[in-house]
Structure 1
Amino acid sequence: MEIPHSQLSYEALRAIIEEFISREGSNYGPIEYSLEEKVGHVMQQLDRGEVVVNFDAASETCNLISTR
């Protein structure tokens, strides 16, 4: 089930994003980004609709999913 990120509290959304970032271990290339910068990048992707928050009722977990 897709959850509009604008309906989540800032704290809840940030926790989901931080968990996603730490789990993904994404390779950002030769530039190293701080946690704040990575969170900002994901927030921008959410605002542009490139990423959505998905809640899985069976596992009771939230994930960020690319819409591309």
Structure 2
Amino acid sequence: MIVPWQEIPQDTLHNLIEHFVLREGTDYGEQEISFTDKVEQVLNLLKNKEAVVVYSELHETVDIKLCRDLSSGSQA
């Protein structure tokens, strides 16, 4: 189930984004990006509807998914 990011308390959303960024690995390409900038980039993805917050009732988890990855039907 997709959860509107605007309805998530700001501190909770920030923690969720930080957790997502920390899990994403360390491939920075040619130029390393700061943690703060990565968090801001993910927030912008949510604002631009390029990513969504997904709650899995089955696993009782919350995650951020890129919309391009949802086309495979893995919305949970």
Unaligned segments of structure 1, at least 5 residues: none
Aligned length: 68
Q: What percentage of aligned pairs have identical amino acids?
A: 34
Q: Find the counterpart in structure 2 of residue 24 from structure 1.
A: 24
C-alpha RMSD of the superposition:
1.1
- The two structures have a TM-score, normalised by structure 1, of 0.90
Superposed displacement of residue 33, structure 1: 1.3
Unaligned segments of structure 2, at least 5 residues: 69-76
Superposed displacement of residue 59, structure 1: 1.6
Question: Could you say which structure has the larger radius of gyration?
Answer: 2
| 4+ residue segments displaced more than 3 Å | none
What's the CA shift string for 1:20-48, capped at 9, x where partnerless? 11111152311111111000000000000
- The two structures have a TM-score, normalised by structure 2, of 0.82
